[in-house]
Amino acid sequence: MKIGLVGLGRMGGNIARRLMQAGHQVVAWDRSDEAVQALAKDGAEAATGLQDMATKLANKAVWWVMLPAGAPTEDTIAEIAKLAKDGDVVIDGGNSFYKDDIRRAKMLAEQGIHYVDVGTSGGVWGLERGYCMMIGGDKETVDHLDPIFDALAPGLGDIVRTPGRVADKVDARAEKGYIHAGPAGAGHFVKMIHNGIEYGLMQAYAEGFDILKSKNSDKLPEDERFDLNLTDIAEVWRRGSVISSWLLDLTAIALAKDEMLEQFSGHVADSGEGQWTIDAAMEEKVPANVLTASLFARYRSRIEHTYGDKVLSAMRFGFGGHTEIPQ
């Protein structure tokens, strides 16, 4: 198929390359001319802008937008909407909020344009490993785009197959690494929850390694300390333990390089998905203590001292509880 790729950052560029490796044609544009030229060298057709891309794409054009969520994606899709024709497909492959997808899909449907949202996991490893994709949109359109998704996905590979999957109850595409999750928005919704879970998993490991490391802290009596080798612990857990995972693999790599992790400041960023996951939990009235605590740990990591902590001290000062004997 012929795909117009808008946004050639690390993710967009690699997606274009993986598509071309599978024999698809890519028309590429990015506001950075350098990025466009780099991809043209790898075989893409360079566009000079969205207008030019509209010309270069055949009828029933497929536009893949791969930009940061929020204004960049919103504005670009609005612009494409002016150029796109009845029967075109607009794919948002970024990290958009799923309610924006629902809104945009409705808006574009009025023009006869199909909207598909693709949540993508796999990070910078995707070019090599393939992208795990969660897709939202109407069935006909998603089926029509199957050759694209099939090319991007990891495929069956050598991952052990899950026993017990019954062909007529499940989506065969799941084993190849992509699913049609539901109508527009469902792709990003599932990806959002994926990231929410990711925060929780990461924080579970983080707390565990913290407790291991602090077992040698001078807060403990000397004869209760252990000086543990965290690098080896991460490694051994990769091998037959219940908590083996890809995130643990990454941790083992990082620790092997520098067990003290000194290159990292301790300030941890968060993208929108963690927060949106909690919003979804609250809308559904589902308790989500672990996912929320994970998000809050990141907020806290970026604050030196909270005002709240000072309020605590002020109260303690007030009732005299900071003295040695009971309050």
Among 75, 125, 139, 147, binds its own copies (CB under 8 A): 125
Near its own copies in 250-279, by CB under 8 A: 250-257, 261, 264-269, 271, 275, 277-279
Tell me which residues in 139-158 interact with its own copies (CB under 8 A): 153-154, 157
**Shortest Å distance, C-beta 122 to its own copies:** 5
106 is catalytic: no
CA neighbor of 233 nearest in space, from 216, 208, 214: 208
Per DSSP, the three-state class of 313 is: helix
Count how many residues are written for the chain: 327
Residue 291 near residue 278 (C-beta atoms within 8 A): yes
58 binds its own copies (CB under 8 A): no
Residue choice 110, 140, 164, 168 for contact with its own copies (CB under 8 A): 164
Regarding 137 and contact with its own copies (CB under 8 A), the answer is no
The single residue among 1, 74, 107, 244 that binds its own copies, judged by CB under 8 A, is: 244
> Among 107, 95, 34, which residue's Cα sits nearest to residue 70?
95
Q: How far is the CB of 199 from its own copies (least distance, A)?
A: 8
Tokens, residue 218: 């001078």
Q: Does 134 bind its own copies (CB under 8 A)?
A: yes
Q: What is the DSSP letter of 161?
A: P
User: Judged by CB, which is closer to its own copies: 54, or 132?
Assistant: 132
The only residue of 50, 163, 167, 168 in contact with its own copies, by rule CB under 8 A: 163
Using the Cα atoms of residue 83, residue 88, residue 91 and residue 96 in order, give the sign of their dihedral: positive
191 is catalytic: yes
Instruction: Please give the structure tokens belonging to residue 310.
Output: 């000072």
Closer Cβ to its own copies, 56 or 180, answer by number: 180
Q: Which stretch binds its own copies (CB under 8 A): 28-36, 43-51, 107-115, 214-222?
A: 214-222
Site for its own copies in 20-39 (CB under 8 A): none
Site for its own copies (CB under 8 A): how many residues?
Answer: 170
Nearer to its own copies by Cβ, of 86 and 232: the residue is: 232
Q: Is 180 left (phi over 0), alpha (psi -120 to 50) or beta?
A: beta
Query: Looking at 19-27, 65-73, 75-83, 142-150, which segment touches its own copies (CB under 8 A)?
Result: 65-73
For its own copies, the closer CB: 45 or 92: 92
23/163 with CB nearer its own copies: 163
User: How many Å apart are CA 5 and CA 197, to the nearest integer?
Assistant: 29
- Contact pattern for its own copies over residues 279 through 318, marking x by CB under 8 A: xxxxxxxxxxxxxxxxxxxxxxxxxxxxxxxxxxxxxxxx
Whose Cβ is closer to its own copies: residue 38's or residue 206's? Answer: 206
User: Which tokens in the block code for residue 121?
Assistant: 């996991």
Residue 7 CA, chain-centre distance (Å), reads 17
Q: CA–CA distance from 183 to each of 99, 142, 173, 177, 309 (Å)? A: 12, 10, 16, 19, 45
* 8-state DSSP, 177: T
What amino acid occupies position 29? Answer: W
Count other Cβ atoms within 10 Å, centred on residue 68: 13
CB-based contact 63:7 (threshold 8 Å): no
Q: How far is the CB of 205 from its own copies (least distance, A)?
A: 6
Give me the active site residues, please. 191, 198
